[in-house]
Structure 1
Amino acid sequence: MARRAGLDRIEREEDETATGQWGPYTLKSAFQPIFAFHDGKLRIEAFEALVRPFRDDQPESPFVFFSTCNADERQQAEELIRTLHLLNASICLPDEALLFLNINPSVFTEELVCETTLRDMRLVMNGVGIEPARIVCEITENPAGSAQMFYNLVTKLRANGFHIAVDDYGADDSDIQRIQELAPDIVKFDAEWVRRLMETEAGFSVLAGMVRSFEDQNICTVFEGIEEGWQLELAEEAGASMVQGFVLAKPRLASPQMKAAQDVLPVASPALPNEPLFSQSGAISFGRRALK
């Protein structure tokens, strides 16, 4: 089981963070905060785990790294990356924060893959003391392998206490079908789609209506790719449950200091770029902006 979970490829650094070894690549975890609105303020609610490959100590894009993997290797690489993220989350992130883990449907081609994926995730989580209720399994794309096997996995994940999120929602027919079939707890809206709708009053009305529709179904919403202050204000106006983007915080490589200093992450205010957003309470002030 240790080999299946990728533990044989894990190394510990001096600061106790974990790195993964994959051929010439060193794989590291990065975490980007996801914020929730609370009474006119923003608080860290969750973190999305992202892989950061390095080759010869130089950063490489995840796309380039994954392009070197064939179908069988892709499955093994993703197992390693999930293990890496779970190990690092246990020492780097606040204990109460949710953790978004990407799940690629294309690798689930048979029942055995589903069973071993779930088993190995629980094996690692039990070892580091992370409960399934803290994990949001983020479905990163439409199934390209066996759709039935993939939906079986989602059913098993939910039955074991994991949350389910649909990523890159853009209101296409395929996206709507995914929502109907998966009945997720969370929907993450496609960043480009959100930005485009925010450009006009009619588009904003569509966006706000979609958020209300999901709320009626007890589905939380996340607006990704928030890069400017006015987008943040409109996200609140639209009723988004959570927001994520560079205007708030960029992904940071895993470090134990993240857990101790999570209330004072070095992010900049959309209105005042040189002033910190965070108070010592972990919240930031937030004001509305009228839609133009």
Structure 2
Amino acid sequence: MSRSIGLAHIIRQKDGTSTGVWGLYTLQSAFQPIFAFKEGKLSLAAFEGLIRPFRDGEPQSPMSFFSTCPAADRLHIEALTRTLHLLNAGSCLPREASIFVNFDPSVFTERTIADNALREMRLVLHEAGIDPRRVVCEVTEQRSASQETLFSFVAALRGNGFRIAVDDYGADDSDINRIKDLKPDIVKFDAQWITQLMESGAGFALLTAMVKSFEDQGIRTVFEGIEESWQLELAEKSGASMVQGFVLARPELAPTRFHVFNSAEPAPAAPSDKTGREPLVPPTPARRAKAFGRRIVR
């Protein structure tokens, strides 16, 4: 293969970032920070790559974009989005931060597809100047058409230095089986499920027990969708390794302003602009939770 499928649909911009083109859509990378709890404070640990489609210059929802794509194109679009995120991560994100990129298990129907995807990853990482050890391959909730192929591919990813994360961990028994089968380095808890469990003392006790169980196995945990301060407080109290959500920082289109986290100075607040960027919230000490459930603001 002389050229990556993903790279064939990439356009390099003057500012050093890259955009993708697929049919009538222009695709851009957005990145959202993931923070780790450390000694009572939050420190920048990673970024998740998120696709942002545009049509005729107008933003479209990712769901509407993917719903218009034929199933036969899904494999190529998956490669394109990963390529886009890795190239942009190499051009505008802090060098020490990890990068989460998604893999849809349903597209890996045979061994040759998995081998080609791995070959493309190596090519793109070389071009982006990214060490494979910075990359976290996030396996999404879709079922694989071939479990044997998926397990083999995940083993190959790990053998090439990548880490593995299971996404959207929730209450289903199938999630437990995914953990046992894939033996991930990281588990990302489903945002809606986390909120439900945090609403009661019993639910929070269950959440804390699951976090401890994973940590005892050497599996780090991420709480997604943290949008309010009381959720952040309970996340820290539960023992979660990392958190991600609007209460800390919203996703930003590349090039981002996240270079401010390279400095010890607080991130400057800035008004929203045409890209939809919101003021950054710099890492601050996380306060201990005193109660369960939502707080009422009077």
**TM-score, structure 2 length as denominator?**
0.90
What are the superposed Cα offsets for residues 184-222 of structure 1, whole Å, 9 maximum, x if unpaired?
A: 000000111100000000000000000000011000000
- The answer for the alignment partner of 1:128 in structure 2 is 128
Residue 143 of structure 1 deviates from its aligned partner by 2.0
Residue 261 of structure 1 deviates from its aligned partner by 5.7
Residue 151 of structure 1 deviates from its aligned partner by 1.2
Distance in 2, matches of 1:207 and 1:80, equals: 36
Q: Counterpart of 2:145 in structure 1: which amino acid? A: G
Residue 66 of structure 1 deviates from its aligned partner by 1.0
- The answer for the alignment partner of 1:200 in structure 2 is 200
Pairs within 5 Å for 1:145-184: 145-184=145-184
Q: Counterpart of 1:164 in structure 2: which amino acid? A: I
Distance in 1, matches of 2:114 and 2:139, equals: 14
**Matched-pair contact (CA < 8 Å) for 1:15–1:256:** no
Residue 64 of structure 1 deviates from its aligned partner by 1.0
- The answer for the alignment partner of 2:79 in structure 1 is 79
| Cα gap change, 1:265 to 1:22, in 2 (>3 Å) | farther
| Cα gap change, 1:142 to 1:77, in 2 (>3 Å) | closer
Secondary structure class of the residue paired with 1:284 = coil
Distance in 1, matches of 2:279 and 2:108, equals: 46
Distance in 2, matches of 1:18 and 1:113, equals: 25
Residue 5 of structure 1 deviates from its aligned partner by 3.4
What are the superposed Cα offsets for residues 105-158 of structure 1, whole Å, 9 maximum, x if unpaired?
A: 010011110000000000110122211110000011142421211111111101
| Cα gap change, 1:260 to 1:5, in 2 (>3 Å) | farther
Residue 275 of structure 1 deviates from its aligned partner by 9.5
Residue 86 of structure 1 deviates from its aligned partner by 0.7
Secondary structure class of the residue paired with 1:206 = helix
**Matched-pair contact (CA < 8 Å) for 2:109–2:146:** yes
Distance in 2, matches of 1:121 and 1:14, equals: 24
Residue 257 of structure 1 deviates from its aligned partner by 4.3
Distance in 2, matches of 1:4 and 1:94, equals: 25
1:219 aligns with 2:216: no
| Cα gap change, 1:228 to 1:266, in 2 (>3 Å) | farther
Deviates most, 53-62 or 71-80 = 71-80
Distance in 1, matches of 2:216 and 2:37, equals: 18
- The answer for the alignment partner of 2:291 in structure 1 is 291
Residue 163 of structure 1 deviates from its aligned partner by 0.3
Distance in 2, matches of 1:267 and 1:173, equals: 43
Distance in 2, matches of 1:117 and 1:204, equals: 39
| Cα gap change, 1:99 to 1:276, in 2 (>3 Å) | closer
- The answer for the alignment partner of 1:18 in structure 2 is 18
Distance in 1, matches of 2:84 and 2:108, equals: 20
Q: Counterpart of 2:88 in structure 1: which amino acid? A: N
Distance in 2, matches of 1:106 and 1:189, equals: 21
After the TM superposition, which parts of structure 1 deviate over 2 Å for at least 4 consecutive aligned residues?
A: 1-5, 256-268, 274-278
Distance in 2, matches of 1:20 and 1:2, equals: 19
What are the superposed Cα offsets for residues 149-178 of structure 1, whole Å, 9 maximum, x if unpaired?
A: 111111110111100000010132100000
Residue 262 of structure 1 deviates from its aligned partner by 5.2
**Matched-pair contact (CA < 8 Å) for 2:268–2:280:** yes
- The answer for the alignment partner of 1:109 in structure 2 is 109
Secondary structure class of the residue paired with 1:285 = coil
Aligned CA RMSD, in angstroms, stands at 1.9
Distance in 1, matches of 2:51 and 2:6, equals: 15
Distance in 2, matches of 1:267 and 1:106, equals: 41
Structure 2 segments unaligned to the other structure (5+ residues): 271-277, 293-298
